Amino acid sequence: MGEEGRFIQQALDGNIEAWGEIVRRYKGAVYGIALGIVGNSADAEDAAQDAFIRAYENLRRYDMERKFSTWIFTITANLCKNMLRRNKFQTRLDDSVQYEGHAEDPEAIIARDERHELVQDALAALDEKYRSPMVLRFYGELDYLEIAQILDLPEGTVKTRIHRAKEALKSWMVERGVKGNA
């Protein structure tokens, strides 16, 4: 059992600090996935918080043979999909994502912020069935099989959706005159 497994076992035994360490390790990825799916920071924060609450409440059901990241990302993706269905809102990404940074050149900060905003706008333009796999692949850095497990889809469907999402994003960028790796 690795370090993560020990933290999970300690959390199962009631050690809140151990659960806090698990949350600390995954909060950025969970939030990033939620933001990519639901499209705004307030809902993403709610979904991330709910994901950790649900995970903690159901920790006894977690199969220690599986990767914890796959399990928590599945919970996150399902909560986000339910949130989208429930709210039926037009996805809109806001620009309130804060960057943890060091003293940087102001021009570099502005360029990075513009690229980030452009990517968020492009993702928001995608249908949710394409956006979710893209977010999991590129923000969550998951392989196709993990994404298939999280979204409960065949692996081939995941590959197809990611391919179609890339094509749609490319078209979106071309329509807006974006050149290079924005």
- The predicted pLDDT at position 12 comes to 92
Please state the pTM of the whole predicted model.
0.67
As a CATH number, domain 1-92 is 1.10.1740.10
Q: CB atoms < 10 A from the CB of 87, how many?
A: 11
Q: Domain residues of the chain, as ranges?
A: 1-92, 102-182
* Mean pLDDT computed over 118-132: 82
Rounded to the nearest 10 degrees, how much is the dihedral formed by the CA atoms of 29, 34, 36, 37? Answer: 140
- Write out the two tokens for 117: 């905003």
| Predicted confidence (pLDDT) at residue 100 exceeds the cutoff of 50 | no
Fold of 102-182: Arc Repressor Mutant, subunit A (1.10.10)
What is the average pLDDT across 116-127?
77
Model confidence pLDDT, tens digit, residues 14-33: 999 999 999 999 999 999 89
